Amino acid sequence: MDKFKKIKQEYQAILQQLSDPELVSNWEKGEELLKRKVYLEKIIEKEKELKEIKDRTEENKSIISAGEDKELISLAETELSQLKDKENALEKELREFLTEDEKSEQPKAVMVEIRAGTGGEEAALFVADLFKMYSKYAQTQGWKQKVLDSRPAGLGGLKEIIFELSGSQVFSKMKSEGGVHRVQRIPETEKSGRIHTSTASVAVLVKPKKAEIKIKPEDLKIDREGFVDLDELFAKLRKRYDISWSFIEEIMSEESGKRFEIIGNRIRSLYGHSIEVTMELEEDRSAAMLYHGTTLESALKILNDGLKPMQRKWVHLSPTKEIAFEVGRRRTFEPVVLMIDAKEARKDGVIFFKATERVFLCREVPAEHIHVLDVR
């Protein structure tokens, strides 16, 4: 019962998070929360069915023990047998759901970092040997492997290599590999036949989900244009998360809205700001219609009060109804797409800016220029 209580508490917490306007800028977290919500709803529904069956079972037992009506007793006994079968089937389904839930809590990907220690070129050769060993082991386990970064050394050795392993039970089977590894052998670099001791350090890091990577603006030195020094950003993130620079590059390259801009050794977000920044945005004068995907509850409020930036500095709009629907799906499975008459809004002084190919910005949109679009 404690397990079900925790599940219901988690479900309520997810509903609360899904109502957060900031979730729109974190699409991966939104998708993850929605999937988790649907999964928990299945468990809650099964638990509710099980409770109803147990209540009916107790009612039938009371009828039988009372012994007042033979026909009613016969019906109760028949139903009792049927209810028992249903109860057993539901309990089995719930056990499977809960077992699946426990398995899903295990990390499905790890990052392995191997670095040469004492031993010079021989230590670098040892790193290469360890990498080959883990690669062969990953193949036997059916895991996927992806090299993220490496620094080669002479004679085919490696000063350092960072790679990702993903698959079933990868964390439980790799977590004990972390630490300093030592080898004593006659190296290829030794001509006199002496035994050398070489070391290499192995770190096994849980690969964080992209949605978990977060840092507050106040924790960074942000200039007027919204830029942050890349080295400073990575150093701050590395203190908080066990990640490699390759992982940060992966996040930026996969960002569907092309949110980040890198110039030299500086990086900034092109939209989603919660602080005021000075940016040379390209004013858009051509889009006749723009779109905004949101929840039904938010849509009703927007149609009455207009579209405002809430906790951000800008209202975010999409160039097509398809993109707006996709954005809305980050918050709800059945989003409402609002259509903004940009042509008429400009006549009222609304200025639209193009941040990226998928994101347009403005300060706010009056309610009279917003209409509901049925995309189904």
pLDDT over 50 at 115, yes or no: yes
Name the nearest CA neighbour of 123 among 185, 66, 178. 185
The answer as to CATH 3.20.20.70 being correct for domain 109-206 is no
Amino acid identity, residue 141? Q
Tens of pLDDT, residues 226-263? 788 888 877 777 766 666 666 666 666 655 446 677 77
* Residue 352: CB atoms within 10 Å: 23
* Cα–Cα distance measured from residue 330 to residue 208, given in angstroms and rounded to the nearest whole number: 20
pLDDT of residue 357: 86
Q: How far apart are CA 7 and CA 280, in angstroms?
A: 47
Query: What confidence score (pLDDT) does residue 376 get?
Result: 46
Residue that has been written with the tokens 């039938």 in this structure: 60
Instruction: Determine the 3-state secondary structure of 9 from DSSP.
Output: helix
User: What CA dihedral angle connects 282, 286, 288 and 292, to 10 degrees?
Assistant: -20
The SS3 assignment for 350 reads coil
Sign of CA dihedral 122, 123, 129, 131: negative
Q: 341 or 241: which carries more pLDDT confidence?
A: 341
pLDDT interval class at 13 (50, 70, 90): confident
Query: What does the pLDDT look like over 190-229, one tens digit per residue?
Result: 666 788 889 999 988 776 665 556 667 777 788 877 788 8
Highest mean pLDDT among 15-24, 186-195, 315-324: 315-324
The Cα 50–Cα 94 span in angstroms is 9
Residue 25: pLDDT over 90 = no
% the chain with pLDDT above 90: 26
The residue assigned the tokens 């049927």 is 82
CATH architecture observed for domain 282-373: Alpha-Beta Barrel (3.20)
- CATH class, domain 211-269, is mainly alpha
Sketch the domain layout of the chain as residue ranges: 2-104, 109-206, 211-269, 282-373
Per-residue pLDDT at 372 exceeds 60: yes
pTM of the model: 0.46
Asked if pLDDT for residue 181 goes beyond 90, the answer is yes
- Give me the residues paired with residue 372 across strands: 338
Distance CA 147, CA 164 (A): 6
Domains 211-269 and 282-373 share a fold: no
